[in-house]
Structure 1
């Protein structure tokens, strides 16, 4: 459908406009209500007329949440339908009891597999790819937004314009005006620069700052506080029980494909590494003579990897079917150079978590990584990368309280 047809089909103000702009459309609604009241058939000559409320303003239930790059976004009610491209926004909705609102993901089959890897262990946490619209289909079609008709779009419009070549500023404005507001911040993931036109006033948020803002969109501040308190206790327990720095392993965070290793920084800022920084491990690549740029797809061959030779290899996005880490481990073992890697010889090649993490996934990824890096302190990680779901952890070795998460999702806080 053409852009002109969209404009014609949605020329009149809709509830989406109220969500995006609050004031003007809400005033129009009040005026219409007054006209309806004046023509409802009531008897003007009644000796005991009902008290008039025509001049009394309706209670204003609108609220605003502010986040860069959008600024203040006003809602007149809690969104019932939410668009998401990346799974961390969907994870936030699930954590705060609004998972049913999520109507889309960029690639539902792939993303929900990773999400459900963790959700299988928590009652009430689930997401079904069959219920979600796929946003990505050799690009991002604006028509998908009209089909979904979401009350809020959890996506950074700056990133959409950079990522999808066919999107213009006018397209972004059209979705905001005709359907619903944007609410997302993509470049906090690695603290990379947004496009030139979006840099003024752009700021970076932590995972928990982003989560707090999404919770505010759903008016779930109490659920957020309960979740953050649980996280703070988890992080404090991990930090308290970390071994001395001298005894911590060197760690190489990579993805492995086609016989090459793509290294990633372990402790750099951004919510993508929120499950790694609290562990305080030594970045094997930062301490080596190898130079690379994480954002330029730098690669190492087997010999280059052996020159670094980390004590532990973490395979990024190794859960939920993105990579078969069990098969990758066998390939490394069978390779004449790969088999010499200390991590391979000591059986310390692990599936690591996803950078697309919200608060629920983050808590489990912290527990997982703590066990992988420091088994003497937190217990062994009992999985080899071939599993479809988060493994069973003995109750006395669990760092994450599954019942408290389930209570939070239900609103029992």
Structure 2
């Protein structure tokens, strides 16, 4: 470990180089207790931003509080993919310095990015940051840590003083992750606010000074949601559905479809019937008999787009097993791939379109027969959002 004198010298060089990113009294040094908005879920009031002055601007996010920036961040530390996708959507994809399981998610995200003309993404080889090492954060020297300090401190290797040290010597924290499924924050955090995916994206866009990019993508999202709402069939015509992840039939993880939190931001608007009827908590391991008892008409298979996943083999496993072969979704070839739960705005658009077609083909068009490779090419007149418009926003050409 480098000593404190060397750290201070490194910090001074950093602040001078990047024209500094500062933060206010309500930030982490104040105890990480300040909430910053009166919003929650997927609706509610517009998040509030602090005023601009000659020496910068202030943006607030829970659980950090108000963060003072003198200039928009360029290099970005992330842990979870919802934050990495936000930075990518705002044209900061090349500035990402860290990500959980970067090679895995690089492969998965690029399956979708393939359908955005002229857009590229490369997360391969980045620092894997699920349980970040503080010394590595010094080496990465990121302008902002787009991660939730309330989550980071759940790791035994991190304390509140470590969080404050990083804030003071490297760059501020600015992220919210416990909104994923409305998790309880640590005891020392009060007034934790839960955001919908696009609410948090708006705050991140404010921090990066990318209001117009956010507005353009939010308009695409709003149009997509409006089309979905207008096309939803009656309750009686919605299929019994489950979402699962499985390496084999011995270990099947079941996930909920409509509980609060941004993990369900692509299924909740589609209002499918929960085949488990609310009796299974998200992340529960279920066996084949339990799955057959629920007898879903549609199975959504998480990670089905990841390049190393053999979707056809998984379908064969379901069909050859004497128990799962009797499931309605298996008999009718309605086992469909999904991407990831920790989705940002770009993946959310694809997953809304994809899931709408998988659940309601009569209303939104048939989902193509997918086995492997990039997100399938869908005829332009059957697409539910404009790929070129999204690509232009990411590339700054709107």
TM-score (norm 2): 0.87
- The reply to whether residue 407 of structure 1 matches residue 392 of structure 2 is yes
Structure 1 residue 133: deviation in Å? 2.6
Give the structure 2 partner of residue 292 of structure 1: 280
Give the structure 2 partner of residue 97 of structure 1: 91
Question: Which of 368, 372, 383 is the equivalent residue of 2:354?
Answer: 368
Cα distance in 2 between the residues matched to 1:316 and 1:130: 21
Deviates more, 1:118-127 or 1:218-227: 118-127
Structure 1 residue 298: deviation in Å? 2.4
Cα distance in 1 between the residues matched to 2:12 and 2:305: 46
Cα distance in 1 between the residues matched to 2:172 and 2:60: 12
The 3 A distance-change label for structure 1 pair 226 and 356 is: same
Structure 1 residue 130: deviation in Å? 3.7
Give the structure 2 partner of residue 265 of structure 1: 256
Cα distance in 2 between the residues matched to 1:22 and 1:195: 22
Structure 1 residue 170: deviation in Å? 1.3
- The reply to whether residue 19 of structure 1 matches residue 21 of structure 2 is yes
TM-score (norm 1): 0.84
1:383-411 Cα distance to aligned partner (Å, 9 max, x none): 43x32311110111111101111121233
The 3 A distance-change label for structure 1 pair 378 and 292 is: closer
Cα distance in 2 between the residues matched to 1:6 and 1:337: 63
The 3 A distance-change label for structure 1 pair 375 and 8 is: same
Higher Cα Rg, which structure: 1
Structure 1 residue 292: deviation in Å? 3.1
Give the structure 2 partner of residue 387 of structure 1: 372
Unaligned 5+ runs, structure 2? 26-52
Deviates more, 1:107-116 or 1:318-327: 318-327
- The reply to whether residue 219 of structure 1 matches residue 219 of structure 2 is no
State whether residues 65 and 213 of structure 1, in contact with CA within 8 Å, keep that contact through their aligned partners in structure 2.
yes
1:139-184 Cα distance to aligned partner (Å, 9 max, x none): 421111111101100000110110x221111111111000000001
User: Which residues of 2 match residues 4-403 of structure 1 at below 5 A?
Assistant: 4=4, 7-10=7-10, 12=12, 14-15=14-15, 18-21=20-23, 60-130=54-124, 132-136=126-130, 139-162=131-154, 164-198=155-189, 200-258=190-248, 259-286=250-277, 291-294=279-282, 297-321=283-307, 323-384=309-370, 386-403=371-388
What is the total number of aligned residue pairs between the two structures? 368
State whether residues 106 and 124 of structure 2, in contact with CA within 8 Å, keep that contact through their aligned partners in structure 1.
no
State whether residues 306 and 340 of structure 1, in contact with CA within 8 Å, keep that contact through their aligned partners in structure 2.
yes
Give the structure 1 partner of residue 42 of structure 2: none
Cα distance in 2 between the residues matched to 1:124 and 1:201: 42
Cα distance in 2 between the residues matched to 1:271 and 1:201: 19
RMSD of aligned Cα (Å): 2.0
Cα distance in 2 between the residues matched to 1:383 and 1:368: 12
Structure 1 residue 113: deviation in Å? 1.4
The 3 A distance-change label for structure 1 pair 95 and 12 is: closer
Structure 1 residue 322: deviation in Å? 6.8
Structure 1 residue 380: deviation in Å? 1.5
Aligned structure 1 segments of 4 or more residues deviating by more than 6 angstroms: none
Cα distance in 1 between the residues matched to 2:271 and 2:309: 25
1:313-351 Cα distance to aligned partner (Å, 9 max, x none): 111232224743321111011101111111100000111
